[in-house]
Amino acid sequence: AKEPVRVLVTGAAGQIGYALVPMIARGVMLGPDQPVILHMLDIPPAAEALNGVKMELVDAAFPLLKGVVATTDVVEACTGVNIAVMVGGFPRKEGMERKDVMSKNVSIYKSQASALEQHAAPNCKVLVVANPANTNALILKEFAPSIPAKNITALTRLDHNRALGQISERLNVQVCDVKNVIIWGNHSSTQYPDVNHATVKTPSGEKPVRELVKDDAWLNGEFITTVQQRGAAIIKARKLSSALSAASSACDHIRDWVLGTPEGTWVSMGVYSDGSYNVPAGVIYSFPVTCKNGEWTIVQGLAIDELSRKKLDLTGAELCEEKELAYSCLS
Ligand code: NAX
């Protein structure tokens, strides 16, 4: 039998946490033969609710779940973890300045970075979900210098999956037959959902999405804004932000990272930019990546047309600006 993998979920008493921990305990993240030990962290005001989640995990009698640590102690939460999914953060409340929200999250991610650096298992893989996800991940990277930069990522897989979903609905095809969309840049409304290399599996082979949709105005307009603003549309409909889709996408992100992407398929991940495609280096930027043996690689050599170039640059500029804002909160 396999040794259990320790998976940390911060903000585990929240909405996404509530959807995510049962998925992990069922093997959705790491596979149906991989036992797990869940580490759940939240803050003291949520301690009782967190304990309630732990009670439900016990009650669900998941065969793969070999233990649960539910705590408000960051060190206890981080000790020995192999995977860390950072969902906890300070939400933007009405009337709050962007800088104030950034400042709260910078201090949270700075201290959790140190705890992970000192107490997590070697080679721990980190996924930041909490917003501003890319910049929180960057702060985590900066304050955990002994964790390799390639181990720290941000979630844009939900945006990627939303793009697949929109194409599948539009063409009335199975979502599993659509692949290789790309989310470039920031997990924010400046993200660029790109279908220029996306394909659909048809009875007569793989066909480009553009050739099948036959409506460039929609693909360059409404499709992009729908994906960019999907989070707001969910809030409007549900009066709560996306949770089950965020949790499921976080599982997809880690599963593909650890177990690999299928041959010929790439996914989108926010990773530490090396300046590929002439986007800014030194920020966490979402790229198309393939994964093998637990490591991601940016897909190189894709053609970038003029419209795309502008959009890659715009979202890159926003990330540089967020980075500056985050740094200004440190001093
Ligand atoms: P909730 O407010 O329901 O849950 C957040 C939880 O984090 C709460 O239980 C809170 O007590 C806890 N928390 C706060 N500070 C903490 C700290 N210092 N340490 C540990 N826990 C802490 O929010 P939820 O709907 O679950 O969303 C969580 C985060 O995901 C938000 O930042 C949200 O903006 C972000 N999202 C990111 C997405 C992405 O694709 N990257 C999509 C979904 C989601 O909007």
pLDDT in tens, 285-296: 999 999 999 999
pLDDT digits (tens, 9 = 90+) for 53-83: 999 999 999 999 999 999 999 999 999 999 9
Which one of the listed residues 119, 187, 197, 253 is annotated catalytic? 187
pLDDT digits (tens, 9 = 90+) for 234-244: 999 999 999 99
Identify the pLDDT of residue 89.
96
Is the model's pLDDT at 331 over the cut of 80?
A: no
Task: Please report which residue ranges of 9-154 form alpha helices under DSSP H.
Answer: 15-25, 47-59, 74-78, 98-119, 133-142
Is the model's pLDDT at 93 over the cut of 90?
A: no
307 Cα–ligand 1 center, Å? 33
pLDDT digits (tens, 9 = 90+) for 194-214: 999 999 999 999 999 999 999
Measure the CA–CA gap between 201 and 329, rounded to whole angstroms: 48
Measure the CA–CA gap between 251 and 269, rounded to whole angstroms: 13
Residue whose structure tokens are 């093998």: 292
pTM above 0.90, yes or no: yes
Q: What angle do CA 163, 165, 168 make, to 5 degrees?
A: 110
- The tally of CA atoms less than 13 A away on the side-chain side of residue 70 is 19
Q: Do the interacting molecules here have an ipTM over 0.85?
A: yes
Atom 13 in ligand 1: residue holding the nearest Cα: 88
> Which of 173, 166, 174, 153 lies closest to 195 in space, CA to CA?
166
Measure the CA–CA gap between 40 and 49, rounded to whole angstroms: 11
Measure the CA–CA gap between 244 and 161, rounded to whole angstroms: 12
For residue 97, name the pLDDT band (cuts at 50, 70, 90). confident
Other CB atoms within 10 A of residue 296 CB: 22
Is the model's pLDDT at 92 over the cut of 90?
A: no
Indicate if the alpha-carbon torsion angle 62, 67, 72, 75 is positive or negative. negative
Could you tell me if the CB of 198 is within 6 A of ligand 1?
no
For residue 140, name the pLDDT band (cuts at 50, 70, 90). very high
Q: What number does the ligand 1 atom closest to the CA of 129 have?
A: 41
> Which of 227, 169, 229 lies closest to 194 in space, CA to CA?
227
Average pLDDT, the chain: 97
Helical axes 244-259 vs 15-25, angle rounded to 10°: 40
Give the tokens for residue 39.
Answer: 């580490």
Active site (annotated) includes residue 39: no
12 close to 50: Cβ distance less than 8 angstroms: yes
pLDDT digits (tens, 9 = 90+) for 115-127: 999 999 999 999 9
Residue type at 189 in one-letter notation: S
Burial letters for 209-247: b for 16+ Cβ neighbours within 10 Å, e otherwise?
bbebbeeeeebeeebbebbbebbeebeeeeeeebbebbb
For residue 94, name the pLDDT band (cuts at 50, 70, 90). confident
Measure the CA–CA gap between 270 and 254, rounded to whole angstroms: 12
235 Cα–ligand 1 center, Å? 14
Atom 42 in ligand 1: residue holding the nearest Cα: 246
Task: Please report which residue ranges of the chain form alpha helices under DSSP H.
Answer: 15-25, 47-59, 74-78, 98-119, 133-142, 157-171, 209-213, 216-220, 222-228, 230-238, 244-259, 306-330
Indicate if the alpha-carbon torsion angle 177, 181, 186, 189 is positive or negative. negative
Could you tell me if the CB of 316 is within 6 A of ligand 1?
no
For residue 9, name the pLDDT band (cuts at 50, 70, 90). very high
Atom 30 in ligand 1: residue holding the nearest Cα: 130
Angstrom distances, CA of residue 143 to CA of 71, 113, 130? 23, 6, 17
Could you tell me if the CB of 10 is within 6 A of ligand 1?
yes
